[in-house]
Each structure stands twice: as structure tokens, then as C-alpha cells.
Amino acid sequence: MRLAELSKRSGVPIATIKYYLREGLLAPGRQINARTAEYDEDHLRRLRVVRALIQIGRLPVATAREVLGHIDDDSLGRTIRMGAALWALPQVPEPDEDDEFVQSARGEVEQLLERLGWSNAQALSTISPAYRSLVVGLAAFRRLGYTWDIELTLPYARLMHEVAVLDLNFVETHSSEAEKVEIAVLGTVLLEPVLHTLRRVAQEEEAARRYGFE
């Protein structure tokens, strides 16, 4: 298909597609002559992924480019490739290691992973943004004076492991390695808000069941 058809089918303006091409978010089309290139279904699919990352996920162009670079990097094994793509997404800042609440939360997270038997998560703890986010979140909760100990966290962690199993089962229904990594990223960018919202809807349902509407 030509650029005009790619624009029509994707709903993305021609000027925006040209911008994505210049920024390396979209591979060049097959050159027919000096002024014309031809694009295929892979371009259309990638264009939709780019739009999802930038418009819905609100990723900066540079971040989207880095994420897509990891998705396309077939020199990496699946776990590292997936991790690199996910870790390129916006993350929380590094915690202040001198903060007593951070120190306490970090010790709690280490105990949590040990109780769960999550040895791989323990091995990745020094580099994983997810581990860092967990520490920062628990530290912030404690800083506000709320008690949230390991016994309260354990059942949530076990439920999240069940969610992770469902996530990766879905990832494995896709054929190519690039698709597997791509859907893992899109699941994080697009579905995490859905899961958060489902939790809120469930809380509303449970609150109404317990306390009524008074």
C-alpha cells in the first residue's frame, strides 16, 4: 500500500507517519522510486502499536523508540528481551536509601520474596524497577503512619502471581518472539489501567454488599 492508504487504514495523518519514519519508530517502506515507497501489513500493525504507546500510554517518543528497539532485538533471550522492554517504560525515581522508611520497606520486601519462594525476583532485586516501585510504595504508606506488614502483603502477592500466570499464558498464544514481547509491553501499558479499574469496581461492589448505600 502507498502512504495515503496506510494513513487511511490506520487513521494516522500522513504528516505524523512521516514524523514516525524520521524518528525511527516505523521502518522505511520498500522504495519504488525516488519519491514513492510501498508499505505492508507489518507497517500498519506497527503503526497501531506506536499510536497505542504514545497516545494511550502517553510515552514520550524517545521512550517509545527505546521500547520498540528492545521488542525488535532478537539477539536477546525472551526473559531479558521482555524485561528490557518493560524496564524502558517510565519508572519511579530511585528511593533515598538513607530514609528509615525505605530501609524498613526494603527489608520487608526481601522477607516477602523469601516467604513466597520467589528466588528469581530476589536475584533481580538490584536492577528491577518493579522491585524499586514496591519498596517506594510500601515506604510511602508507612511514612503516612499506616501499618501494612508482610502478613497483609502475602495474600496480595499470591493473587498477583495468579495474574502473572494468566498474563504469560496469553503471551504464549502469540507466534513470534517479537509478538510475545510486544504483547507483554502492551499488556502493561494498556491493561494495567483496566486491572486497576476492575479493583475499584470490585471495591465498590464489596462496599455496597457490606455496608449498603446509606
For 142-188, write each residue's pLDDT tens digit: 899 887 888 999 999 999 999 999 999 999 998 888 888 888 888 88
34, pLDDT greater than 80 = no
Q: Among 33-42, 63-72, 159-168, 184-193, which range has the highest average pLDDT?
A: 159-168
Predicted confidence at residue 50, as pLDDT, reads 92
Predicted confidence at residue 86, as pLDDT, reads 85
Mean pLDDT of the chain: 89
CA-CA distances (angstroms) from residue 4 to 13, 54, 58? 9, 21, 26
Q: Binning pLDDT at 50, 70 and 90, where does residue 82 land?
A: confident
Predicted confidence at residue 178, as pLDDT, reads 85
Predicted confidence at residue 157, as pLDDT, reads 94
C-alpha torsion 65→136→196→160, nearest 10? 100
For 125-137, write each residue's pLDDT tens digit: 888 888 999 999 9
| Rounded percentage of the chain residues whose pLDDT exceeds 90 | 41
Predicted confidence at residue 179, as pLDDT, reads 86
Global pTM? 0.79
Q: Which of 34, 49, 40, 66 is nearest to 189 (CA)?
A: 49
Q: Binning pLDDT at 50, 70 and 90, where does residue 25 land?
A: very high
